[in-house]
Amino acid sequence: MSNLRSGLVTGVALLSTGLLAGAFGYGVVNVAATFDVVPLDVRLTFHTALMQRNGVVMQTAMALAAVSSAALAFLNRGRTRQLAGIAAVLVVTSFLVTRFGNVPINGRIKVWAVTSAPADHAAILDRWETYNVIRTVAALTAFVLIIVASRLDRVH
């Protein structure tokens, strides 16, 4: 039963951290890069629509990744526990960066989409992109750590 439970938790941790890293990675490589080459009004309109759809999906992925990584740490010991614990902290970091970095800027972008962007909009959008890269690196690192932890778990 313990191996079954550990295997299930490992699978959920791999899936959820992989989905989170993949979604953020796709966003950095494709969506944010596209934002830089389209007119500002197109970016603001698309960004607003995307954030409305992303909210529930990304929050669910972050919660599942954090809980499953923490559970994996709890169920194991030694190096596997450390790696899974660090992964959980990194997922929480991606959540905090999103919540206190990207989300407030998303709120401003939503207003700009129906009014107009302020003179300093480029600096604010650059800050959004910086937060986006930080949360992506945190999520990707968490995923890699869960992969390594899952391989260590199989050895022991």
Report whether 73 contacts 88 (CB < 8 A).
yes
- Mean pLDDT, range 117-146, rounded to an integer: 97
What's the confidence (pLDDT) of residue 1? 37
User: Mean of the per-residue pLDDT values for the chain?
Assistant: 93
Mention every residue, 6+ apart, whose C-beta is less than 8 A from residue 15: none
What's the confidence (pLDDT) of residue 155? 45
Separation of alpha carbons 83 and 79, rounded Å:
6
Pick from 67, 42, 62, 72: which is nearest to 139 by CA?
Answer: 62
Task: Please provide residue 75's backbone torsions phi and psi, each rounded to the nearest 5 degrees.
Answer: -80, -10
Q: How many CB atoms lie within 10 A of CB 111?
A: 13
For residue 109, what are its two tokens? 């972008």
Query: What is the percent of the chain with per-residue pLDDT over 70, rounded to a whole number?
Result: 96
For residue 121, what are its two tokens? 């909009």
- pTM of the complete model: 0.91
- Mean pLDDT, range 124-131, rounded to an integer: 97
Report whether 23 contacts 85 (CB < 8 A).
no
pLDDT per residue as tens digits for the range 6-38: 789 999 999 999 999 999 999 999 999 999 899
